[in-house]
Amino acid sequence: MTTVIDGKNVAASVIQTVKSATAALEKSSGVTTGLAVIIVGDDPASHAYVGSKGRMAKECGFKSVQHTLPAETSQAELAALVATLNADPSIHGILVQLPLPKPLDSEPIIQSILPEKDVDGLSVVNAGKLATGDLKTGLVSCTPAGAMVFVRRTHGEDLSGLNAVVIGRSNLFGKPMAQLLLNANATVTMAHSRTKDLAEVCRNADILVAAVGRPEMVKADWVKPGATVIDVGINRVPAPDKGEGKTRLVGDVAFAEVCDVASTITPVPGGVGPMTIAMLMANTVIAAHRAAGQTPPQF
Q: Is 175 a catalytic residue?
A: no
Burial (CB < 10 A; 0-12, 13-18, 19+), residue 66, is middle
Q: Which helix or strand (DSSP H or E) is residue 83 part of?
A: helix 75-86
DSSP, res 218 = B
Q: Which of 111, 113, 115, 106 is nearest to 140 (CA)?
A: 115
Distance CA 123, CA 125 (A): 5
Amino acid at 277: I
DSSP, res 189 = E
Dihedral, 188, 191, 196, 201 alpha carbons, nearest 10 = 50
Q: Is 294 a catalytic residue?
A: no
Burial (CB < 10 A; 0-12, 13-18, 19+), residue 226, is exposed
How far are the Cα atoms of 208, 228, 259, 265 from residue 223, in angstroms, in the given order?
Answer: 8, 9, 10, 11
Which residue is catalytic, options 6, 16, 43, 97?
97
Q: Is 111 a catalytic residue?
A: no
DSSP, res 293 = T
Which residue is catalytic, options 53, 129, 175, 224?
53
Phi then psi dihedrals of residue 64, to 5 deg: -115, 120
Which residue is catalytic, options 117, 118, 120, 129?
120
Beta strand spans in 157-206 (E):
163-167, 187-191
Distance CA 163, CA 59 (A): 38
Which residues are catalytic, by number? Answer: 53, 97, 120
